[in-house]
Chain A
């Protein structure tokens, strides 16, 4: 495949981008609406010397990626909300043992078994560390398929750079839709991993990968080390897109992922109708682009967060604005995706109510 624009389904584009980024192992368990990711991997990986295993459960899959990641291989799994919930314990182990892996969550409506429609209801679960213990992990949220391709490469790079599991969240629309995408060349220059458990030569001590420290002082030291890493991530890695914000409009919408692309259309429609409005779109949900929002609060008089949930990211936006401006919320849940017209009407109502 050359660097031409090709029409591809989101799930398959994510899988191909992972392979281009050097991913050679995939372990997972099927769940709608992301089954095209393992399906694609099962076809492609064996042909390029990789490994695909359909695990007997998500609990197995997350521990299999721990094994491969510990051996220094670029490895991933993918699932959807209920399946990702099952990976929470293993995820915490990955964080504690500092194993770089990538986990893709194509979020569906919850709670419980829920539905299969597009949702952003896992924002809290993804951004608050996802797993027990004192921890965080980078969460990337693409809004288009090209961005999903680009962020898959970044996800593997950040995982290796910080020796940390990295999350990418999409939803049923990102997973199921098709859009033209261009792939980067396959990566050949993968980073060295001297810490990996690849067999002990006589020239060095054993490499140990675990997350067990029974002495409180030792565990505290590990947590301190992790949090020094998180401080670097929070300083260097927040990413967002500022859309129609250069003229500092008095109204700032805030949305990510699929909801952001619908909100962009709403911004354009409102602008055409004479409403001065822009959109701030977080690309990293953690680290949250809080300083970009704080800066926008210098000029914006009102913020409105729109989400495919009953209001989760809005809490981070409120914290970033620190009470200086009102931060309103509107969203749909359960897999319902609002139309552009609906967002325009709700934004007009929220402007009126202030």
Chain B
């Protein structure tokens, strides 16, 4: 059985919980099993938040993961915390707008994308999370399809002005391009 874990981390308010939910909804659209687990303990008090999403073809054991397969890190504290924990060969997507350091490890697949800059260019500075989700999806292999994530995005913005969904889909696609291998 294939089981993949993804950690998403950043400041509270950067929207990491939201992109975790979007990824989880996409997994449901594909008929997969999924767990979404937020950090809710004292670690939240430092102003950083994270969630762990596990996606699998069959029943999921632990929703809590010590060595994740993939990570999206939105700020400096998050890369410091999760870079050492990733499995060898794992994927790390780094928000280059707020993190200016290179990776310490050589055994990871790293994608640096200026998520805040991308979102600001599109006129929606609060959607940096959607931009980095796009970059992540460019490298996430067969975790979930891009169509399923776009479907989940549409679900998430249902009931809001349609222009908001269009703007976020555009940012998501800009992230996809920015994250694609050169």
Contacts and interface: CB of A to CB of B under 8 A. Distances in A.
Interface of A: 5-7, 32-33, 115-117, 144, 172-173, 176-180, 261-266, 268, 335, 337, 339-342
Contacts of A261: 60-63
B61 to A, nearest CB: 3
Contact of B63 (A173, A263, A266, A341): A173
A176 B49 CA distance: 14
Given A178-B21, A180-B28, A335-B41, A7 B62 contact: no
A5 B59 CA distance: 14
Given A176-B38, A179-B35, A180-B34, A340 B63 contact: no
Nearest to B155: A7
Contacts of B40: 32-33, 116, 172, 176
B24 interface: yes
Contact of B35 (A33, A178, A263, A335): A178
B28 A5 contact: yes
Contacts, number: 68
Given A115-B41, A266-B61, A335-B41, 5 more contacts: A7-B34, A261-B63, A262-B61, A340-B61, A341-B66
Contacts of A173: 37, 63-64
Q: Is the interface of A mostly helix, strand, loop or mixed?
A: mixed
B142 to A, nearest CB: 19
Interface residues of B, number: 21
Interface centre among B24, B36, B40, B62 (most CB of A within 10 A): B62
B155 to A, nearest CB: 10
B40 to A, nearest CB: 5
A178 B54 CA distance: 11
The 5 closest A-B pairs by CB, nearest first: A265-B61, A339-B66, A178-B36, A262-B62, A177-B37
25 contacts: A5-B28, A7-B21, A7-B24, A33-B40, A116-B41, A144-B59, A178-B36, A179-B63, A180-B33, A180-B34, A261-B60, A261-B61, A261-B62, A262-B61, A262-B64, A263-B61, A265-B62, A335-B41, A337-B64, A339-B64, A339-B65, A339-B67, A340-B62, A341-B66, A342-B66
B173 interface: no
A266 B34 CA distance: 18
Contact of B62 (A115, A178, A339): A339
Interface string B103-146: 00000000000000000000000000000000000000000000
